Amino acid sequence: MAISRFLPLFLGARDHLDDRDREALATIPVRREQFSHGDKIITAGPTPGESCLLISGMALRVHDIGKQRVVSALQVPGDFLDLHSFLLATLDHDVVAQGDCAVEFVRSEELTRITEERPHLTRLLWLCTLIDAKVTRVWTAAAASLKAHERIGHFLCELHARLGIVGLIRDDSFNMPIEQKDLADILGFSVAHTNRALQDLRGRGLVTWNKGRVHLPDPDALAALCSFDSRYLETISAAR
């Protein structure tokens, strides 16, 4: 099975792909697999000989620190879940399905081959991991400086922007396979507090969230309230 159309879409959003790049991507063989909510897609420990690309659904990076469980990132369709593992010998966290997901596995040799033969593609794949890192840094900054309702808003703005890149936004609304308890878990709040913070945003008319679907009536106003600056995601590469 050939790799999903998502990868060229995602990479192409960053920099022009020429025909040879596209062909190199199109000929990567993949194995597709389906996961349900809570399944471990990837387990911490020695890295497997393959990396995987999220096709649909969402996934969480889950760290165990002490006796606690902490989410350090959320992945959306088009993201590599562990492009890292192609270069790292061990993975320090699990990747867990948030809702149902489809995933495509790529053998590491295929990626190594790209690095040997297609320098431009290599730089673009590298870029993916850099953007991932950027998102994490901004997440860290947001966690350190925003209040609960602002963090939720920031999180929703981030999702709105990221899902937009892969074409999953319609009329400023998007699917969200996440419940309040999951949101609390992801942001590290209690359920009670999450609920109150969400009510705050709802009360301001900035967020509606019903049955797994989120609508942001005024994304700019929400962004302003939550100090969200989308520029860090609109990354055109300097890779060429």
Partner DNA sequence: CGATAAGTTGATTCGCATCAACTATTGTGG
Partner DNA sequence: CCACAATAGTTGATGCGAATCAACTTATCG
CA 8 – CA 11 distance, rounded (Å)? 5
Residue (of 119, 124, 141, 116) closest to 83 by Cα position: 124
What token pair was written down for 64? Answer: 């165990």
Nearer to its own copies, 56 or 223 (CB): 223
What token pair was written down for 174? Answer: 């998007």
Helix axes 119-145, 148-165, angle to 10 degrees: 160
Nearer to its own copies, 86 or 174 (CB): 86
Mapped onto helix, strand or coil, the DSSP state of residue 99 is: strand
Q: Which does 167 bind (CB under 5 to 8 A by kind): DNA, its own copies, none?
A: none
CA 44 – CA 90 distance, rounded (Å)? 7
CA 193 – CA 185 distance, rounded (Å)? 11
Q: How far is the CB of 189 from DNA (least distance, A)?
A: 4
Nearer to DNA, 144 or 238 (CB): 144
Q: Which does 193 bind (CB under 5 to 8 A by kind): its own copies, DNA, none?
A: DNA
Nearer to its own copies, 84 or 204 (CB): 84
Q: How far is the CB of 81 from its own copies (least distance, A)?
A: 13
Question: Which residues of this protein are in contact with its own copies, per CB under 8 A?
Answer: 47, 61, 63, 65-66, 68, 70, 72-73, 84-90, 92-93, 108, 112, 115-116, 119, 122-123, 126-127, 129-134, 136-146, 188, 227, 229, 231-232, 235-239
User: Which amino acid appears at position 76 of this protein?
Assistant: V
What token pair was written down for 27? Answer: 């000929």
Q: How far is the CB of 73 from its own copies (least distance, A)?
A: 7
Question: Which residues of this protein are in contact with DNA, per CB under 7 A?
Answer: 147-148, 179-181, 188-199, 211
Nearer to DNA, 113 or 202 (CB): 202
What token pair was written down for 226? Answer: 């939550």
